[in-house]
Structure 1
Amino acid sequence: MFRPQKIQPKEGQESVWDYPRPPRLEPCDKQIKIIFNGVTIVDTKKAYRVLETSHPPTYYIPPEDIKMEYLQPAEKGSFCEWKGPGNYYTLTVNDKQAINVAWYYPNPTPAFADIKNYVAFYAEPMDECLVNGETVTPQPGNFYGGWITSDIVGPFKGGPGSWGW
Protein backbone atom coordinates (compact mmCIF):
# COMPACT_ATOMS: atom_id res chain seq x y z
CA MET A 1 0.00 0.00 0.00
CA PHE A 2 1.24 3.48 -0.87
CA ARG A 3 2.16 5.60 2.15
CA PRO A 4 2.34 9.35 1.59
CA GLN A 5 5.49 11.25 2.45
CA LYS A 6 4.84 13.21 5.63
CA ILE A 7 5.68 16.92 5.43
CA GLN A 8 7.87 17.84 8.39
CA PRO A 9 6.15 20.52 10.47
CA LYS A 10 8.03 23.70 11.27
CA GLU A 11 7.94 25.33 14.68
CA GLY A 12 4.35 26.22 15.57
CA GLN A 13 2.89 23.75 13.04
CA GLU A 14 1.15 20.40 13.43
CA SER A 15 1.35 17.46 11.04
CA VAL A 16 -1.88 15.61 10.38
CA TRP A 17 0.27 12.47 10.39
CA ASP A 18 0.88 12.98 14.10
CA TYR A 19 -2.87 13.02 14.81
CA PRO A 20 -4.29 9.79 16.30
CA ARG A 21 -6.51 7.06 14.92
CA PRO A 22 -9.09 6.66 16.38
CA PRO A 23 -9.52 10.43 16.33
CA ARG A 24 -9.22 12.71 19.33
CA LEU A 25 -11.70 15.39 20.39
CA GLU A 26 -10.32 18.50 22.05
CA PRO A 27 -11.66 21.92 23.04
CA CYS A 28 -10.52 24.82 20.88
CA ASP A 29 -10.48 28.41 22.12
CA LYS A 30 -9.44 29.89 18.77
CA GLN A 31 -11.95 32.27 17.23
CA ILE A 32 -13.99 30.52 14.54
CA LYS A 33 -16.02 32.63 12.11
CA ILE A 34 -18.13 31.56 9.16
CA ILE A 35 -19.60 33.99 6.64
CA PHE A 36 -22.20 32.95 4.06
CA ASN A 37 -23.87 35.28 1.57
CA GLY A 38 -22.47 38.27 3.44
CA VAL A 39 -23.86 37.21 6.85
CA THR A 40 -21.71 36.04 9.77
CA ILE A 41 -23.49 32.84 10.78
CA VAL A 42 -20.84 31.62 13.26
CA ASP A 43 -18.64 33.50 15.71
CA THR A 44 -17.28 31.47 18.62
CA LYS A 45 -14.32 30.73 20.83
CA LYS A 46 -16.02 27.62 22.25
CA ALA A 47 -15.58 25.09 19.45
CA TYR A 48 -14.19 21.59 19.58
CA ARG A 49 -11.90 20.15 16.97
CA VAL A 50 -11.59 16.54 15.87
CA LEU A 51 -8.06 15.42 15.00
CA GLU A 52 -7.61 12.28 12.92
CA THR A 53 -4.60 10.86 11.11
CA SER A 54 -4.22 12.35 7.61
CA HIS A 55 -7.09 14.85 8.04
CA PRO A 56 -6.96 18.56 8.83
CA PRO A 57 -9.06 19.45 11.90
CA THR A 58 -12.83 19.49 11.68
CA TYR A 59 -14.38 22.17 13.89
CA TYR A 60 -17.65 21.60 15.76
CA ILE A 61 -19.54 24.72 16.82
CA PRO A 62 -21.96 25.02 19.77
CA PRO A 63 -25.50 25.77 18.53
CA GLU A 64 -25.75 28.85 20.76
CA ASP A 65 -22.96 30.47 18.70
CA ILE A 66 -24.64 29.76 15.36
CA LYS A 67 -27.43 31.78 13.78
CA MET A 68 -29.58 28.64 13.72
CA GLU A 69 -32.48 30.44 12.00
CA TYR A 70 -30.52 30.01 8.75
CA LEU A 71 -30.24 26.20 9.09
CA GLN A 72 -32.94 23.79 8.00
CA PRO A 73 -32.85 20.03 8.69
CA ALA A 74 -31.88 18.10 5.57
CA GLU A 75 -32.94 14.58 4.62
CA LYS A 76 -29.35 13.36 4.29
CA GLY A 77 -27.83 11.22 7.00
CA SER A 78 -24.47 9.55 7.45
CA PHE A 79 -22.60 7.24 9.77
CA CYS A 80 -19.14 7.79 11.27
CA GLU A 81 -17.42 4.75 12.71
CA TRP A 82 -16.13 6.93 15.57
CA LYS A 83 -18.97 9.37 16.26
CA GLY A 84 -22.07 7.41 15.22
CA PRO A 85 -25.07 8.43 13.10
CA GLY A 86 -25.09 12.00 11.82
CA ASN A 87 -27.69 14.39 10.45
CA TYR A 88 -27.30 17.30 8.03
CA TYR A 89 -28.48 20.85 7.61
CA THR A 90 -29.10 23.00 4.57
CA LEU A 91 -28.05 26.64 4.94
CA THR A 92 -30.19 29.40 3.44
CA VAL A 93 -29.32 33.09 3.69
CA ASN A 94 -31.57 35.35 1.63
CA ASP A 95 -31.39 34.12 -1.99
CA LYS A 96 -28.44 31.74 -1.56
CA GLN A 97 -28.63 28.13 -0.40
CA ALA A 98 -26.06 25.40 0.33
CA ILE A 99 -27.62 21.94 0.60
CA ASN A 100 -26.20 19.39 3.08
CA VAL A 101 -23.46 21.84 4.04
CA ALA A 102 -23.37 21.19 7.78
CA TRP A 103 -23.69 18.11 9.96
CA TYR A 104 -24.09 17.13 13.59
CA TYR A 105 -24.43 14.10 15.84
CA PRO A 106 -27.64 14.03 17.92
CA ASN A 107 -26.55 10.88 19.80
CA PRO A 108 -22.76 10.56 19.48
CA THR A 109 -20.72 7.73 20.91
CA PRO A 110 -19.49 8.25 24.50
CA ALA A 111 -16.02 9.39 23.34
CA PHE A 112 -17.66 12.25 21.41
CA ALA A 113 -20.50 13.10 23.82
CA ASP A 114 -19.12 16.65 24.24
CA ILE A 115 -20.11 17.51 20.65
CA LYS A 116 -23.72 16.35 20.89
CA ASN A 117 -25.68 18.66 18.54
CA TYR A 118 -22.58 20.78 17.79
CA VAL A 119 -22.43 21.63 14.09
CA ALA A 120 -19.55 21.27 11.61
CA PHE A 121 -19.53 23.07 8.25
CA TYR A 122 -17.95 22.38 4.89
CA ALA A 123 -15.73 25.38 4.10
CA GLU A 124 -15.95 25.25 0.29
CA PRO A 125 -19.47 26.72 -0.17
CA MET A 126 -18.94 29.53 2.34
CA ASP A 127 -17.87 33.08 1.53
CA GLU A 128 -15.19 32.64 4.16
CA CYS A 129 -14.30 30.42 7.11
CA LEU A 130 -11.70 31.80 9.52
CA VAL A 131 -9.62 30.42 12.37
CA ASN A 132 -8.15 33.24 14.47
CA GLY A 133 -8.59 35.59 11.51
CA GLU A 134 -6.92 33.31 8.94
CA THR A 135 -9.01 32.19 5.96
CA VAL A 136 -9.07 28.40 5.77
CA THR A 137 -8.57 26.18 2.75
CA PRO A 138 -11.11 23.33 2.48
CA GLN A 139 -9.84 19.78 2.75
CA PRO A 140 -9.46 18.42 -0.80
CA GLY A 141 -11.97 16.10 -2.40
CA ASN A 142 -15.38 17.52 -1.40
CA PHE A 143 -16.04 14.57 0.93
CA TYR A 144 -14.33 15.34 4.23
CA GLY A 145 -14.91 18.52 6.21
CA GLY A 146 -11.44 19.45 7.46
CA TRP A 147 -10.14 23.02 7.48
CA ILE A 148 -6.54 23.72 6.49
CA THR A 149 -4.66 26.66 8.04
CA SER A 150 -1.01 27.65 7.82
CA ASP A 151 -0.24 25.85 11.08
CA ILE A 152 -1.35 22.45 9.69
CA VAL A 153 0.75 20.39 7.22
CA GLY A 154 -0.11 17.23 5.24
CA PRO A 155 -0.36 15.70 2.81
CA PHE A 156 -4.12 15.54 3.40
CA LYS A 157 -6.50 12.70 2.69
CA GLY A 158 -9.21 13.56 0.16
CA GLY A 159 -7.21 14.52 -2.90
CA PRO A 160 -6.60 12.35 -5.97
CA GLY A 161 -4.93 9.04 -5.12
CA SER A 162 -5.44 9.36 -1.35
CA TRP A 163 -8.41 7.03 -0.88
CA GLY A 164 -6.18 4.04 -0.15
CA TRP A 165 -4.27 5.69 2.69
Structure 2
Amino acid sequence: MLRANVIESLVKESLKIKELPFISGFHGKELISSFMAFYLRNLYLFKNSRHIFDEEKSIQDEIKEFDWTENGIPIQNCEFVKSNDCKAVQISDVVAGFLGKYFTYLKNVSDEQLTIDKSELTNIQKNTLDSLKELIDISDDLCRGFFNTVSSEGEQRRNNYFLHGVEA
Protein backbone atom coordinates (compact mmCIF):
# COMPACT_ATOMS: atom_id res chain seq x y z
CA MET A 1 0.00 0.00 0.00
CA LEU A 2 2.83 2.37 0.86
CA ARG A 3 4.45 1.80 -2.55
CA ALA A 4 1.20 2.65 -4.30
CA ASN A 5 1.00 5.94 -2.38
CA VAL A 6 4.60 6.79 -3.25
CA ILE A 7 4.03 6.04 -6.93
CA GLU A 8 0.80 8.03 -6.93
CA SER A 9 2.58 11.01 -5.34
CA LEU A 10 5.41 10.75 -7.84
CA VAL A 11 3.00 10.77 -10.78
CA LYS A 12 1.10 13.76 -9.36
CA GLU A 13 4.32 15.72 -8.85
CA SER A 14 5.56 14.84 -12.34
CA LEU A 15 2.44 16.35 -13.85
CA LYS A 16 3.48 19.74 -12.43
CA ILE A 17 6.76 19.77 -14.36
CA LYS A 18 6.56 22.31 -17.18
CA GLU A 19 9.56 21.17 -19.24
CA LEU A 20 11.96 18.28 -19.55
CA PRO A 21 15.29 19.93 -20.41
CA PHE A 22 17.17 16.73 -21.19
CA ILE A 23 14.66 15.44 -23.73
CA SER A 24 12.97 18.56 -25.07
CA GLY A 25 13.72 22.09 -26.16
CA PHE A 26 17.10 23.34 -27.23
CA HIS A 27 19.07 21.03 -24.96
CA GLY A 28 18.53 17.96 -27.11
CA LYS A 29 20.52 15.07 -25.69
CA GLU A 30 23.02 17.28 -23.90
CA LEU A 31 23.54 16.20 -20.31
CA ILE A 32 26.72 18.15 -19.57
CA SER A 33 27.35 21.51 -21.20
CA SER A 34 30.83 21.90 -19.72
CA PHE A 35 33.47 19.78 -18.05
CA MET A 36 34.64 22.80 -16.06
CA ALA A 37 33.50 21.28 -12.74
CA PHE A 38 35.88 18.35 -13.22
CA TYR A 39 38.81 20.71 -13.76
CA LEU A 40 37.84 22.97 -10.86
CA ARG A 41 37.48 20.03 -8.50
CA ASN A 42 41.09 18.99 -8.97
CA LEU A 43 42.44 22.53 -8.99
CA TYR A 44 40.70 23.20 -5.70
CA LEU A 45 41.36 19.86 -3.97
CA PHE A 46 45.02 19.95 -4.94
CA LYS A 47 45.57 23.70 -4.90
CA ASN A 48 49.22 23.31 -3.85
CA SER A 49 49.96 21.08 -6.85
CA ARG A 50 50.88 22.08 -10.36
CA HIS A 51 48.33 20.92 -12.92
CA ILE A 52 49.23 20.45 -16.56
CA PHE A 53 46.33 19.95 -18.95
CA ASP A 54 46.06 19.27 -22.65
CA GLU A 55 45.03 22.41 -24.52
CA GLU A 56 41.29 22.85 -24.35
CA LYS A 57 40.34 26.34 -25.53
CA SER A 58 36.88 26.48 -23.96
CA ILE A 59 38.16 25.29 -20.57
CA GLN A 60 41.14 27.64 -20.72
CA ASP A 61 38.83 30.59 -21.33
CA GLU A 62 36.54 29.60 -18.47
CA ILE A 63 39.42 29.10 -16.04
CA LYS A 64 40.89 32.50 -16.96
CA GLU A 65 37.58 34.09 -15.97
CA PHE A 66 37.39 32.17 -12.69
CA ASP A 67 38.68 34.19 -9.73
CA TRP A 68 40.84 31.78 -7.71
CA THR A 69 42.22 33.26 -4.51
CA GLU A 70 43.23 32.13 -1.07
CA ASN A 71 43.48 34.84 1.57
CA GLY A 72 43.42 37.41 -1.23
CA ILE A 73 46.35 35.80 -3.07
CA PRO A 74 45.63 34.54 -6.59
CA ILE A 75 46.01 30.80 -7.10
CA GLN A 76 47.64 29.99 -10.40
CA ASN A 77 48.26 26.26 -10.30
CA CYS A 78 47.57 25.14 -13.85
CA GLU A 79 48.82 25.46 -17.36
CA PHE A 80 47.66 24.17 -20.72
CA VAL A 81 50.13 22.63 -23.14
CA LYS A 82 50.05 21.01 -26.56
CA SER A 83 50.08 17.28 -25.95
CA ASN A 84 52.72 16.87 -28.68
CA ASP A 85 55.13 18.84 -26.47
CA CYS A 86 54.53 16.97 -23.22
CA LYS A 87 55.07 13.24 -22.74
CA ALA A 88 53.21 13.28 -19.41
CA VAL A 89 50.07 14.58 -21.13
CA GLN A 90 50.48 11.96 -23.87
CA ILE A 91 50.67 9.21 -21.24
CA SER A 92 47.69 10.71 -19.44
CA ASP A 93 45.73 10.65 -22.72
CA VAL A 94 46.52 6.96 -23.19
CA VAL A 95 45.49 6.10 -19.62
CA ALA A 96 42.32 8.21 -19.86
CA GLY A 97 41.48 6.61 -23.21
CA PHE A 98 41.98 3.12 -21.80
CA LEU A 99 39.85 3.86 -18.74
CA GLY A 100 37.19 5.43 -20.95
CA LYS A 101 36.98 2.25 -23.04
CA TYR A 102 36.98 0.11 -19.88
CA PHE A 103 34.09 2.00 -18.29
CA THR A 104 32.15 2.05 -21.57
CA TYR A 105 32.56 -1.72 -21.65
CA LEU A 106 31.28 -2.00 -18.05
CA LYS A 107 28.30 0.19 -18.92
CA ASN A 108 27.30 -1.91 -21.92
CA VAL A 109 28.15 -5.48 -20.90
CA SER A 110 25.65 -7.80 -19.25
CA ASP A 111 26.59 -9.49 -15.99
CA GLU A 112 26.57 -12.85 -17.73
CA GLN A 113 28.88 -11.70 -20.52
CA LEU A 114 31.19 -10.03 -17.99
CA THR A 115 31.61 -13.35 -16.16
CA ILE A 116 32.35 -15.12 -19.45
CA ASP A 117 34.80 -12.42 -20.55
CA LYS A 118 36.67 -12.52 -17.24
CA SER A 119 36.95 -16.32 -17.34
CA GLU A 120 38.39 -16.16 -20.89
CA LEU A 121 41.19 -13.67 -20.15
CA THR A 122 44.65 -14.78 -21.23
CA ASN A 123 47.54 -14.74 -18.76
CA ILE A 124 48.86 -11.53 -20.31
CA GLN A 125 45.42 -9.91 -19.96
CA LYS A 126 45.17 -11.09 -16.34
CA ASN A 127 48.61 -9.61 -15.61
CA THR A 128 47.57 -6.33 -17.21
CA LEU A 129 44.37 -6.28 -15.16
CA ASP A 130 46.36 -7.05 -12.00
CA SER A 131 48.73 -4.17 -12.79
CA LEU A 132 45.78 -1.82 -13.24
CA LYS A 133 44.27 -3.00 -9.96
CA GLU A 134 47.58 -2.50 -8.16
CA LEU A 135 47.98 1.01 -9.57
CA ILE A 136 44.43 1.91 -8.54
CA ASP A 137 44.86 0.39 -5.06
CA ILE A 138 48.13 2.25 -4.44
CA SER A 139 46.58 5.51 -5.63
CA ASP A 140 43.47 4.90 -3.52
CA ASP A 141 45.59 4.25 -0.43
CA LEU A 142 47.52 7.44 -1.08
CA CYS A 143 44.50 9.71 -1.61
CA ARG A 144 40.80 9.10 -2.26
CA GLY A 145 40.67 12.53 -3.91
CA PHE A 146 42.48 11.10 -6.94
CA PHE A 147 39.24 9.41 -7.98
CA ASN A 148 36.37 11.13 -9.68
CA THR A 149 33.89 8.81 -11.32
CA VAL A 150 30.37 9.18 -12.55
CA SER A 151 28.90 5.72 -12.89
CA SER A 152 25.79 3.77 -12.10
CA GLU A 153 25.50 1.28 -9.28
CA GLY A 154 25.59 -1.54 -11.84
CA GLU A 155 28.80 -0.23 -13.39
CA GLN A 156 30.39 0.03 -9.95
CA ARG A 157 29.30 -3.51 -9.13
CA ARG A 158 30.65 -4.84 -12.43
CA ASN A 159 33.95 -2.97 -11.88
CA ASN A 160 34.26 -4.41 -8.36
CA TYR A 161 33.73 -7.90 -9.77
CA PHE A 162 35.91 -7.60 -12.85
CA LEU A 163 38.82 -5.69 -11.36
CA HIS A 164 38.71 -6.64 -7.68
CA GLY A 165 37.02 -10.05 -7.75
CA VAL A 166 34.24 -8.88 -5.43
CA GLU A 167 31.08 -10.95 -5.94
CA ALA A 168 27.83 -9.03 -5.66
Normalised by the shorter chain, which TM-score bucket? Answer: under 0.3
* Length-normalised TM-score, structure 1: 0.22
Higher helix share: 2
* Length-normalised TM-score, structure 2: 0.21
